[in-house]
Chains A and B, each alone.
Chain A
Amino acid sequence: MSTPRNPYLPSSARIEEVRVETPDTKTFTVVFCDDAGRDDFAYRPGQFAEVSVFGVGEAPFSITSTPTRKGFLEFSIKRMGRVTSALHEMIGGEQIGVRGPYGNSFPVQEWKGRKLFFIGGGIGLAPLRSVINYCLDNRADYGDIEVIYGARSPADLVFKPELEQWAQRQDLKLHLTVDAGNEEWHGRVGFVPALVTELNPSPANVITITCGPPIMIRLVLQGLAQLGFSDEQIVTTLEMRMKCGIGKCGRCNIGRSYVCVDGPVYSLAQIKALGSEH
């Protein structure tokens, strides 16, 4: 019997490209340095990875690329703390460590034949982008796809070139909004939860997937409940502080559930069953 790979050991990866998304968010395209690293890393939309800047530390990031587009990984990272700041200092060609993929994933098989209603806010579009593009790459499997996305200001919208592509598509309906506009912004101004209520989606055969700042999620969940969505129809991702990513270090539990292995994707019904912590 061969010894399984040490799960704490990251694979070496190279930053291929850095795209500036917003004043505080960059998207890193990452390629594994050797075949073994790439082959070990078969991921599903919604999973995350532990990214290392050696000497600074490790932090978990959702994978924003889709496994349907192969050969690279993308992480969209907001400058927040030590590891994210170190990553923001890095440029193409520099080396990082990546281990994973970790966590469960969006239940895209269960969603086949359903209409999908994605609701994102700010950097919360990063994990949604993975599953949106996954569904677009398997378009025939799903019904209507609508995406609501909002940010604080037009400058804070991430993935702008891709948002323009989505807007051009006939098989996806995109609704953008910003909390506060400017003179160049001709789109909608207002909060995401208000836009959800205004669009008044019918719950029939629909799955909603929401990801964003906690306050947005709270209000979106309230709005969806008022529109008649059941807890099973509402899917979101939970955030907790993580270290090991493999269910050992003991900090990311919400009730009995370890977000790193049992999450980060949960239905609202599952979250309610975990008790009152969230």
Chain B
Amino acid sequence: MPDYVIAKDKAAAWLRRLGEKYAIYAPAADGIAFARTTDYASALQPSGNTRRPPKEMFLPAGQMMLIFRQGEQGMQVTEVAPESVASGPRLLVGVRPCDAAALSLLDLVFSENYSGYEDPFYRAARAATPVISLLCAEPLEGCFCGDAPAVDLASPAADVALVDLGDRYFAEARSETGQQLIAAGEGLFAAASDADRKARDQLAADLKARTTEGLPLAGLREKLRGLHDSPRWRELAQQCLRCGVCSFLCPTCHCFDIQDEVVGCAGYRYRCWDTCQFTDFTLMTSGENPRREPPERLKQRICHKFEYLPDRTEMVYCVGCGRCVRLCPAGLDVRETIEELSGVHAP
């Protein structure tokens, strides 16, 4: 698909036009999460990243799945139509390449291909929410997306991939939806030149160089197979407070719980984020718990991302966004864990 450029002073006009069709979400000024905005002039900021990844736009922290009501004819169960979960079309603007890659990884998990069933809530949210990415100007402390095989900094997995070229944005349409988004800005875009493309590639290459630490994310898979019984898990887990922040803030973590809530003679079933770092995650009613102890839970988190999911999808479920590195209250650094495990041989 062709590449475009748009002058910076025209980008707000483009977003304004898109805002007529879409509710536009961009990183909030406080840096915490994506939030609805009509301040189109400041929606595209290439610095930093949100503390909470945009996955919550597709897999909300809590999501209603069905409603039930005790009526005269018995229990009436009402489907919460997946189509209505997303309240009208939304547009995510300013998603970082790591988080865009994470969405493409979540797409695999929630697809029919993955387990024989498609998740209708996730599918509906994705279909109603195109994504415009923006290359970061600077990596944050702890970023290592350059090492993540799923992340393509020059051409991330978004509908439109933007790169800040100083006085203009480079814009690549990566899907048919992306093509339409750019078409909505008719008269505002120009065709990209080879020099623009070169400038884009250079910026992506520079960022990749700065976020590459040489961590063997893909190679860990084979190593981990021999480490299931390693005493290293116990040592690594010693620092862990089991707060679950690493998985709640991870853009690829997707585990959820399903619960019922009763309100009078009616109620609803919902799903909410859950984490393998909590002991009751795998606690069965019989009292059996195969992952009772912290080392087993740390092993699950690492192996799920770097061995089990790669076995199922051929993709590594870490995009190097660095959130777990920056926000772990105990100072655990997954980069060190990866380094250590890839250097440790099976006992």
Contact = CB atoms under 8 A, between A and B. Distances in A.
Contacts of A55: 68, 260, 262, 267
B65 A250 contact: no
A185 interface: no
Interface residues of B, number: 50
A52 to B, nearest CB: 8
Interface stretch (B128-136, B140-148, B166-174, B274-282): B274-282
A84 B284 CA distance: 12
A123 B269 CA distance: 29
A161 interface: no
Contacts of A253: 300, 304, 308
A248 B117 contact: yes
A247 B256 contact: no
A10 interface: yes
A255 B306 CA distance: 11
Given A240-B284, A240-B290, A261-B115, A54 B274 contact: no
A167 interface: no
A56 B179 CA distance: 47
Interface in B302-347: 303-304, 307-308, 311-312
A278 to B, nearest CB: 7
B285 A243 contact: no
A81 B79 CA distance: 27
A7 interface: yes
A214 interface: yes
Contact of B82 (A6, A57, A95): A6
A272 B300 CA distance: 18
A258 B120 CA distance: 20
A277 interface: yes
A12 B75 contact: yes
A12 B70 CA distance: 13
B259 interface: yes
A241 interface: yes
A80 B271 CA distance: 23
B61 interface: no
Given A12-B77, A54-B75, A276-B228, A251 B274 contact: yes
A254 B299 CA distance: 12
Contacts of B285: 59, 80-81, 84
Contacts of B262: 55
B225 to A, nearest CB: 7
A10 B114 contact: no
A136 interface: no
Contacts of B286: 80, 239
24 contacts: A4-B118, A7-B118, A8-B66, A8-B120, A8-B121, A8-B269, A12-B75, A54-B260, A58-B258, A58-B260, A240-B290, A241-B283, A243-B258, A244-B256, A246-B116, A247-B115, A248-B256, A251-B281, A251-B282, A253-B308, A255-B308, A256-B312, A275-B225, A276-B228
Given A4-B120, A250-B254, A250-B276, 19 more contacts: A4-B118, A7-B117, A8-B269, A9-B79, A10-B77, A12-B75, A55-B267, A57-B259, A58-B258, A241-B283, A243-B258, A247-B116, A248-B110, A248-B115, A249-B257, A256-B307, A275-B228, A276-B229, A277-B228
